[in-house]
Amino acid sequence: MKLNFCSLSSGSSGNCYYIGNESHGILIDAGISASSIRKFLKNISISIDSIMGILITHNHIDHIRGLEVLIRKNHIPAFTTQKIWESILSPRKKISRDCIREIPQQKKINLDNFEIEAFPVYHDAPETIGFQISAGGKKITIVTDLGHICQTAALYIKESNLLVIESNYDEQMLENGRYPYFLKERIRSDNGHLGNHQTSVFLADIFNDSIEHICLAHLSKNNNTPEKALETLQKTFSERDITLKSHQQILILNRNIPNEMIRLVE
Ligand SMILES: [Zn+2]
Ligand SMILES: [Zn+2]
């Protein structure tokens, strides 16, 4: 079996990721409009009808923008913890009860051939989770919004074959940028976002042969550039004498357009 991954959109303006096999798929977050999600999926020849579920990481708008419409129009069940559901649902947000699925943390659930496990990450939402999705002997881990990497998240990350990890801001750009001080402090706090340097040092610490694809995700529009995120990681790796093997690559996920599909073969 193949496990395919495609980032449809990644960044503070909207997040949506596709994981699928030959016949079915799931989405992680629906932070862009439902019509963009349908269009982007169509562009990569994926039918919306093949989507079995939407996994939700937290209640911030860049992760749930298209959720309500997508559920209403396509009747796809959505999965997240009880606490995150409480933070999403409001009198304004009408999501059909029969599409709401509550999931536990750190306990595997199955959706067709996909094994899914949610785990806690630290971020400034009522609750935020990362996901590990396994199928066909391959593991994908997604952590897009977190202020620091705790030991639990590190365990999931280390064993992944494909890793989607936040590299939100360039530390210097944020410091010298025009955001108000309180916002800068919020972003770089332990419950905010991961900076390029922070992510790079962590990746250098845990890098191992099983990691085939490192996808740097959720780049800030104002405080980062794809070049800076990549340079910082490459520089950190070279300082630690880490060289990528032929099966390993680093990829920067686009903010507004899908990346190429990555195919993990057992
Ligand atoms: Zn976000
Ligand atoms: Zn967030």
- Per-residue pLDDT at 92: 72
- Do the beta carbons of residue 55 and residue 101 sit within 8 Å? no
Residue 2 pLDDT exceeds 90: no
User: 206: pLDDT confidence band, cut at 50, 70 and 90?
Assistant: very high
Neighbours of ion ligand 2 (CB under 5 A): 60, 145
Q: Which amino acid is at 246?
A: S
In 3D, which of 220, 206, 90 has the Cα closest to residue 168? 220
Query: Residues near 206 by Cβ (< 8 Å), separated by ≥ 6?
Result: 154, 157, 158
Element (H or E) spanning 196, and its range?
Answer: helix 196-206
Residue 146 pLDDT exceeds 90: yes
- Per-residue pLDDT at 1: 74
Average model confidence (pLDDT) for the chain? 96
Q: How far is the CA of 142 from the centre of ligand 2 (A)?
A: 13
- Per-residue pLDDT at 94: 80
Model confidence pLDDT, tens digit, residues 12-69: 899 999 999 999 999 999 999 999 999 999 999 999 999 999 999 999 999 999 999 9
Q: How far is the CA of 222 from the centre of ligand 1 (A)?
A: 14
- Per-residue pLDDT at 93: 76
Q: How far is the CA of 86 from the centre of ligand 1 (A)?
A: 18
Query: Residues near 50 by Cβ (< 8 Å), separated by ≥ 6?
Result: 20, 23, 24, 25
- Per-residue pLDDT at 108: 98
- In angstroms and rounded to an integer, the radius of gyration of the C-alpha atoms of the chain is 17
Model confidence pLDDT, tens digit, residues 228-252: 999 999 999 999 999 999 999 999 9
Of the listed ligands, the closest to the CA of 125 is 2
Neighbours of ion ligand 1 (CB under 5 A): 62, 145
Cα torsion angle, 5, 219, 230, 204, sign: negative
Residue 266 pLDDT exceeds 80: no
